[in-house]
Amino acid sequence: MPTAPPRQGIVVTGAATALGLVLGVLYVWSVIKGGIPEAWGWSHADKALPYAVACLTFSLTMLPAGRLQDRSGPRGVAVLGSVLAGAGCIIAGLGGDSLLAFVLGFGVTTGVGIGFGYAAMTPAAVKWFPPERTGLVAGVVVAGSGLSPLWIAPLTQVLLDAFAAADAGGRAAVSSTMIALGASIIVLGSAIALLLRNPPHHQRGGAAAPTWAPWRAMLKTATFWRLFATFFVGAAAGLMFIGVAQDLGRAALGAAAFWAVVVLSIGNAGGRIIAGAISDRLGRQRTLGYAFVAQATVVTLLAVLPDTSLPLTLTILFLLGLNYGANLSIYPAAAKERFGTANFGLNYGTLFVAWGLAGLLAPWLWGLVHDLTGSTTPSTVAIVAALLLAALVTHFGARPGEVDPSTDPAQGT
């Protein structure tokens, strides 16, 4: 059987990774949140709400965007995503101190845009490569969004500082920053998206890749729901801390606390590539189990260690990102292996709803518990327990390469 030309697959993978670098604005919300002045009167829960809504909207959009990508290809879907993601930031900026404007702009419109972009990125790249390289390729692609804070976080901080200096009260700094970020996303994202394309149908995923598994059959399998439940837990553990990363680093880094976001993002991106490559060798299930146990350990250390020194803080943040990042490469690889390539965009979009629910609930509950109790300990205990339970479910679940018979084409759609 003919194989995909390596050069074309590499070009598409590079473009998908670059698009993730542009659309990763979600991961710098803690920097944006840190610039919100007290004069706006937002509570901890208020500050978490736009980010939480964006996570949920992002994941829900993966369903229609994944189906559209399966039918029409990734290019137009990614361009639309870039325009919407940037427009949402601009809407939020034009709304001033309005929480509703941030929820509708950043939370809904930018969330939808990221969903369209993300739905086109990973499927377009992994379809060019055989199963034994799926984890690595998926890891490289999603590492783009994980690395995005390396440039967006410092840029956002520079913009906040510059606009704050120009505005004596600092009330318009966040709004102006959002508008500038939005314009940049529209221009850069749309240009990169034009490089995306699917391979010819007969070349998708290599000879060993299955091509069946309609989404209705997938939902009837125990395999899917095990993946869904554990993806929710792994994502919740990471997103809970990504949303407050700058707060965690403030005691050790002071005014340069945005670097906490950068360090976490390096771990996040590294975890995606490393875990993807390891899972190609050890299997998705075993690699996930190790990541869950490691994340539970790191979260526990974060809660019990009193030392807030710079090296310890940055090490913990790096490890939080490393373990969280593993989820973003292993789950798309598992979805391709277990449910095939023909409906990969929609199938993985359906599974990705777990990430969105985690993004909606975890950061908001963290802020709410903080407001009600003045402590983050209850949230920390809950997430550690959930991670250990997810490790057990993963350990005793189906083998990563095992396909549920109910996904066979003979079972119908």
> What is the mean predicted confidence (pLDDT) over 155-178?
81
Lowest mean pLDDT among 94-108, 148-162, 201-215: 201-215
Domain extents for the chain?
Answer: 6-398
Q: What pTM was estimated for this model as a whole?
A: 0.75
Second CATH level (architecture) for the domain 6-398: Up-down Bundle (1.20)
Mean pLDDT throughout 274-295?
A: 90
Q: Which of 40-54, 208-222, 314-328 has the lowest mean pLDDT?
A: 208-222
- The pair of three-digit structure tokens given for residue 254, joined into one six-digit string: 């002071």
Q: What is the pLDDT of residues 213-224, one digit of tens each?
A: 577 788 888 889
pLDDT for residue 131:
75
The SS3 assignment for 4 reads: coil
pLDDT over 50 (residue 363) = yes
Contacts of 99 (CB under 8 A, 6+ apart): 42, 46, 49, 50
Q: What average pLDDT score do residues 141-153 get? A: 83
pLDDT score at 233? 93
pLDDT at 209: 45
204-235 b/e (C-beta count within 10 Å ≥ 16 → b): bbbeebbebbbbebbeebebbebbbbbbbbbb
CA gap 378, 382 in Å, rounded: 6
